[in-house]
Amino acid sequence: MSNFAIGDQDFLLDDRPFRILSGAIHYFRVHPDLWADRIEKARLMGLNTIETYVPWNEHSPIPDAFVCDGGLDLGRFLDLVAAAGMHAIVRPGPYICAEWDNGGLPAWLFTDPTVGVRSSEPGYLAAVSSYMEAVLALVVPRQITQGGPVIMFQIENEYGAYGDDKAYLQHLVDLSKSLGVDVPLFTCDQPFGTMIEDGSLPELHKTGTFGSRSLERLGFLRERQPTGPLMCAEFWNGWFDNWGTHHHTTDAAASAAELDALLTAGASVNIYMFHGGTNFGFTNGANDKGIYEPTITSYDYDAPLSEDGHPTAKYFAFRDVIAKHFPVPAEEPVPRAPAPVSVVAVSESVPLLSVAGSTSLASETIPPVEVTGQYRGFYLYEVLLQGGGVVSFSEVRDRAQFFLDGVPVGVLSRELGERTVVIPRGGRLQVLLEDQGRVNYGQRIGEAKGLIGPALLNGVEVLDWEVGAVDLASLDAFRAAAVALPRGAASAGVAGPSISFATFEADGPGDRFLRLDGWTKGNAFVNGFNLGRYWSRGPQRTLYVPGPLIREGANELAILELHGSATRKVSFVVGPDLGPDEK
């Protein structure tokens, strides 16, 4: 067994000075069959440690559950880190930010309005305790003191940017220790104002998060922590994208120079991200600092290892910097090979509303979507209107399509601050509501989704609503109801909202890149796996299809299109297109 400790100036591995050279890989953003490949490529860049968050809401999609198999097998991920001869840092939150849905906090937790958010409120602490017990059952046996890879364990996450509830932080510390954590505990905060002091406790090791002006940031940290090793726990070498903006990139040489300055100063580092991965399905988060901005499907982050796991110019620039300070393996990863190219046409389709509206809950006043027990994706509201006029809501979270007796009559978007729609006459009103991602940073964490009431028609409240969740966990019901599209040219397109199906052939597993030119907005699925959202507004133009999803022979592609397409065709292209950058 080994030990890991915090000395007066250095981290100590078996009582000898040790520099942490870590890279962030979120196991929950990477297909599990690709974990070993991504870890090995971190080792080849010269890293000695892998860091990961743990997403509470993904492991606990409903109360009293903790899923830890398949793509959520944290134990297997840590074992693969160990098998590569590397160490691990675990950051379980319970809040993780990470541009992840609700910052990792379960939406079901806040259906009780008395439950606190990131505080010492008893209901919140009770839920956190249950979650931590489940996480630590996997982590504690894999600590370095027990022969495993885990050398450090984080308490909360950038808490100083949110609050300063010391009782809450102390609860997390006491809980972690009582459950068997005996590796060093640490906090990370931005080196600004009082965030480092507010987000930590005197006995916890403090680290910083930054991506530029490294020496200045390290100096700020040293002023607040006179002894102990310096560490940047999140070295931001890239950034994430929102829909409707450019693809964010950072100059490889400039990022490498910052990394060099950090290492020359004797600091340890965790590169955020080393490999970003993908916000599959409905897992993306959002920001709202007055304007709601949902995060795109790709979490490429302009990281050293691309979304599909290949080295970039930044990878080699960082590798060269690390080689100036530490030994680096001689082997290099191979560059990306062209992916198979083909054009596929959808042949069958089914209107979404004809299948989605089969089960619903009745409510006098308009409820948030959480009443359905589904906490992500799409929902259908229905009500009978006696007449037409102006329909308004307090807020729309996040995007609503309105249909009167099946005919589209308008769209309301949270991004645009829209709250009113004109309904021409009475009839059956259906509203297809899309949760575009829960806010992952700031004071709007934990808020409800849906049409936020009161719902008014010409100033009078509309009552007797029905609301149901659109279940896309399985496409069986839609597949069974799909019918052949009428004969016509590919440019005939597909009307939405609908789910359309196509079959394509493959020689076997291998990465692909799905391009949906001419389609508007929705989600795509390969062999039932939800690849994530697409949107014609960009920036990203392709969806990443992890190779293990593809099987030899026939494969199924399904496209949920919300509005309509100008074509029935989609393309598999040679490589990713994440959109124009700011240059």
Residues known to be catalytic:
158, 234
Quick check: helix, strand or coil at residue 528?
coil
Quick check: helix, strand or coil at residue 549?
helix
Hey, what are 370's tokens?
């959480």
Measured CA to CA, the distance from residue 439 to residue 97 in angstroms comes to 9
For tokens 């993904």, what's the residue?
Answer: 58
- Preceding amide of 273 cis, omega within 30: yes
Measured CA to CA, the distance from residue 543 to residue 195 in angstroms comes to 37
For β-strands 11-13 and 4-6, DSSP reports them as antiparallel
Pair 435, 282: CB distance under 8 Å: yes
For tokens 């950072």, what's the residue?
Answer: 250
Hey, what are 266's tokens?
């004797």
Measured CA to CA, the distance from residue 508 to residue 448 in angstroms comes to 43
Q: Which residue type, as a one-letter code, is found at position 197?
A: E
Angle, to 10 degrees, between the axis of helix 74-83 and the axis of helix 35-44? Answer: 40
Give the count of beta carbons closer than 10 Å to the beta carbon of residue 247: 20
**What are the C-alpha distances in Å from 89 to residues 49, 139, 227?**
7, 10, 21
- Preceding amide of 55 cis, omega within 30: no
Measured CA to CA, the distance from residue 548 to residue 552 in angstroms comes to 11
Pair 295, 48: CB distance under 8 Å: no
Measured CA to CA, the distance from residue 425 to residue 422 in angstroms comes to 9
